[in-house]
Copies of this chain bind each other. A is one copy, B any other.
């Protein structure tokens, strides 16, 4: 059964980007600190694979084995749409309010009829494989809709102080999590949570 899994690198104070993120500076001022656990990389997301075969490489490989990607429009645009191929040519579903005139590049497509439809389409496309979810706003939309199955957070030992938070503007209903795996990589903790319930 395909699961929707949020993959995000987050500082101990809850930020996924530094201040003033925007075009040409997707991770904000100083936010690249959050990706120190990844390799140097290039345009292809797969090129960021951490060296060796430790926990960080293993978690990265799990991410690259997913069968579909869901992302918000903002994350997608800041990443240059990954030139239409996030990894292995799997379909990329870009949640947006209004699709631009240009069709989405490569294996990407815009989804304008909401998060439920977006998740349903991604599940149909991913088959038995999991779905990689990226981006704070889309994660929040999934949480609000009760559609997030798991979180794989890379907890980075730094306080950024300011920036964009992963969890913001959620309703006051508790979302109970269960820690199902904790791996200590060099300079990062990989915390895998299952969403248990809401309320």
Contacts and interface: CB of A to CB of B under 8 A. Distances in A.
A13 interface: yes
A159 B182 contact: no
B157 A177 contact: yes
Interface string A153-196: 10001111111011100111111111100101000010101000
A70 B52 CA distance: 44
A179 B172 contact: no
A33 interface: yes
A176 B158 contact: yes
A13 B159 contact: no
A191 B179 CA distance: 14
A67 interface: no
Given A33-B174, A160-B174, 16 more contacts: A12-B153, A12-B177, A12-B193, A13-B14, A30-B172, A30-B174, A157-B179, A157-B193, A158-B175, A158-B177, A159-B175, A161-B173, A162-B171, A162-B172, A179-B189, A189-B191
